[in-house]
Amino acid sequence: MTQENIESVLIEKRVFPPSDEFRSRARIASKKDYDKLRSDANKDHEAFWGELAKTEIDWHKPFTTTLDSSRAPHFAWFTDGELNVSYNCIDRHLKDKGDKTAIVFEGEKGDTRHLTYKELHQEVCRLANGLKAKGIANGDRVVIYMPMVPEAVIAMHACARIGAIHSVVFGGFSAESLKDRIEDAGAKAVITADGGTRGGKVVALKAACDEALDHGCKTIKTIIVLKRAGNAVNMKTGRDVWWSDAVKGQADTCDPVWNNAEHPLFLLYTSGSTGKPKGIQHCTGGYLLGTIMTMKWVFDIQDSDIFWCTADVGWVTGHSYVAYGPLAVGGTVLMYEGAPTVPDAGRFWDICERHKVTIFYTAPTAIRALMKMGEEYPNKYDLSSIRLLGTVGEPINPEAWMWYYQVIGKERCPIVDTWWQTETGAIMISPVPGAVDTKPGSCTLPLPGIAADVVDEEGNSIGTPDKGGYLVVKKPWPAMLRTIWNDDQRYIDTYWSKFNGRYYLAGDSARQDKDGYFWMMGRIDDVLNISGHRLGTMEVESALVAHERVAEAAVVGRPDDIKGEAIFAYVVIKGKRPVDGDAEALTRELREWVAKEIGPIAKPDDIRFSDNLPKTRSGKIMRRLLRVIARGEEITQDTSTLENEDIIKQLRGQA
């Protein structure tokens, strides 16, 4: 689909500078300091990153080559350097911060735990020794299939410590998905738990492992099982071992394996627009640097902060901003195992109050869901400890942004809307909160050393404000993916072929406004073509959500004889789903509303009301499914990864 003239029709004019209070404590506290960083990076990209890598990482053997582009698009950073990520995240803090809390944990039932850096070190070393005793060595793959408990992070670091490549599979995925990922990675071991708790229910993780292994996964020799939920499990002699037995008698120190900076740290499977999930492969040195710099630039992390990123470790956000980034900078990270609505919609705010969370990072979908429940929940709690808010995963519509800003942040806290991807390893485009004014709905400007741009079909910079195009990155960056595991050709095809190897293609469309701010317009395949006018689906969604009765909306295109494409909108309203007369009246009202907000061209042709949208467990709307339903086609795709499979009937208009 060509991207020329993607029209941007939603112009947001509000601007929010950081407060003096925030600025007075910030690491990068002025536009001048920030501009200096960006211009340093522009002047000498390689030297900029090389210098940071030297000062921010503890190297066992220093590197002499900063960037090797000889095998482009396979870029290698700091190649001849040697390091260990677990050492950099834990050991190097032991001397000064051994007794500092590294992880604060809260379970759904309210049980809490604190682990100091010293304790974390011991736990990681014992498990690392336990893995070695099971024959796991440098370069072996280990699948981690765990609930959101500290042991998930311990398992990741134990692997990193001995050079084993972990592949975390989200605990909400089915046995079938687990099997596919184990087999593609050729994993030797699985680290799991009897079960995890979410929404009061036990998710039987070990049982899913058994099911996966019954149908394949011949490479797996060991399953290590953490006792967590207390549900009954079958243990197969010779293969399965309790975590407590695996670490019994193991020393609480373990020399880290010093690996080359390019050694794979982990694989993380993510879905593409077509085909089987891709095993995104990340490296050791560059990835670590990306997480450290973004913790400092974007989250402005300080020694006293309590940092809470609500993402599960099964997603990249849980890798970079739970398991690695916060620890690499010696911070305190909070982990919560359960659902945001147990016992009620105030749980997140209750946790923020009790643990004095200072930085809160979550997804727009969570914000909108909690917004729908009403202000009375957050208003019951003291949120004054929070100083910075963040979002990730999808565009945040200005209405949700304003709610977050006013109701949660009390107009005191900057919001960092962070654009990045599993592939990019770390945040790429985001406000640096003490220096960059924010605009609701924009992820603002690329971070220093990130050469993001918006280009047309030929790869030329768009240049014109508010004209959409392809989001690309024009120079390699340290935390970028290295390849797709087992499928290097797909790496080249997906990310590099569009512009003949010159630019990294993100797969998103975007525009830049007159100030150079980036506005994401959705995935490339989510662009509608209505009567020759191109429209980002997100912009129609944003307009719908701006209506006072609408909580959430998803818009897809369906073929239309006259217009090329018609707009089909799925709408969730606050309160009860409208039916009959009310539904008809509201449909008319919303069509007029969108016409007024954007223009008659964007008027949805169909509006269907449902209680919820079809979401994957990470909160992403399954657009492909919505497209199929909008076209009245047969559903052939796998819907087992849906959080709410039973919503399909309603979406079809049959319930």
Q: Which residues bind ligand WTA (CB under 6 A)?
A: 270, 316-317, 392-395, 417-422, 443, 506-508, 520, 523
* Choice between 101 and 494, CB closer to ligand WTA: 494
Q: How far apart are CA 438 and CA 16, in angstroms?
A: 5
Sequence-ordered strand ranges (E) for 310-433: 332-336, 359-362, 388-392, 415-418
**Does residue 638 sit in helix, strand or coil?**
coil
Report the interhelical angle of 285-297 vs 45-56 (nearest 10°).
90
CB of 399 to ligand WTA, least distance (A): 15
Q: Do the Cβ atoms of 265 and 319 come closer than 8 Å?
A: no
- Number of neighbours of residue 267 by Cβ within 10 angstroms: 24
* Choice between 84 and 281, CB closer to ligand WTA: 281
* Choice between 134 and 523, CB closer to ligand WTA: 523
* Choice between 77 and 420, CB closer to ligand WTA: 420
* Choice between 233 and 309, CB closer to ligand WTA: 309
And the tokens for 302? 């300080």
CB of 499 to ligand WTA, least distance (A): 17
Which of 547, 638, 592 lies closest to 177 in space, CA to CA? Answer: 638
* Choice between 147 and 395, CB closer to ligand WTA: 395
Q: Do the Cβ atoms of 260 and 245 come closer than 8 Å?
A: no
CB of 259 to ligand WTA, least distance (A): 25
Q: How far apart are CA 493 and CA 73, in angstroms?
A: 11
Q: How far apart are CA 194 and CA 209, in angstroms?
A: 10
Half-sphere CA count of 438, side-chain side, radius 13 A: 29
CB of 334 to ligand WTA, least distance (A): 19
- Phi-psi map region of 610: left, alpha, beta (phi>0 left; psi -120 to 50 alpha): beta
* Choice between 93 and 278, CB closer to ligand WTA: 278
Number of H-type helices and E-type strands within the chain: 22, 31
- Number of neighbours of residue 422 by Cβ within 10 angstroms: 18
Which of 347, 364, 375, 350 lies closest to 441 in space, CA to CA? Answer: 364
* Choice between 153 and 505, CB closer to ligand WTA: 505
CB of 36 to ligand WTA, least distance (A): 25
* Choice between 256 and 393, CB closer to ligand WTA: 393
Q: Compute, in degrees rounded to 10, the torsion defined by CA atoms 552, 556, 561, 562.
A: 60
Pairing of strands 264-270, 278-283: antiparallel
Q: Do the Cβ atoms of 510 and 536 come closer than 8 Å?
A: no
CB of 126 to ligand WTA, least distance (A): 32
Report the interhelical angle of 31-43 vs 45-56 (nearest 10°).
110
Q: Compute, in degrees rounded to 10, the torsion defined by CA atoms 384, 386, 392, 398.
A: 40
* Choice between 131 and 413, CB closer to ligand WTA: 413
* Choice between 510 and 586, CB closer to ligand WTA: 510
CB of 282 to ligand WTA, least distance (A): 12
CB of 9 to ligand WTA, least distance (A): 17
CB of 394 to ligand WTA, least distance (A): 5
Taking CA atoms, 33 is separated from 37, 65, 412, 602, in Å, by 6, 28, 22, 42
What is the per-residue DSSP string for 523-541?
EGGGEEEETTEEEEHHHHH
H or E stretch at 512: strand 504-512
CB of 444 to ligand WTA, least distance (A): 10
CB of 504 to ligand WTA, least distance (A): 12
User: Quick one: 135 exposed, middle or buried, by C-beta within 10 A (0-12, 13-18, 19+)?
Assistant: exposed
And the tokens for 340? 């945001």
* Choice between 330 and 440, CB closer to ligand WTA: 440
Angle at 536 between CA 532 and CA 539, to 5 degrees: 120
CB of 486 to ligand WTA, least distance (A): 19
69's CB contacts (< 8 A; 6+ apart) are: 75, 476
CB of 107 to ligand WTA, least distance (A): 25
Residue that is written with structure tokens 């797909």 in the block:
490
* Choice between 210 and 508, CB closer to ligand WTA: 508
Q: What is the largest CA-CA distance in the chain?
A: 73
Q: Do the Cβ atoms of 508 and 522 come closer than 8 Å?
A: yes
* Choice between 395 and 614, CB closer to ligand WTA: 395
CB of 446 to ligand WTA, least distance (A): 13
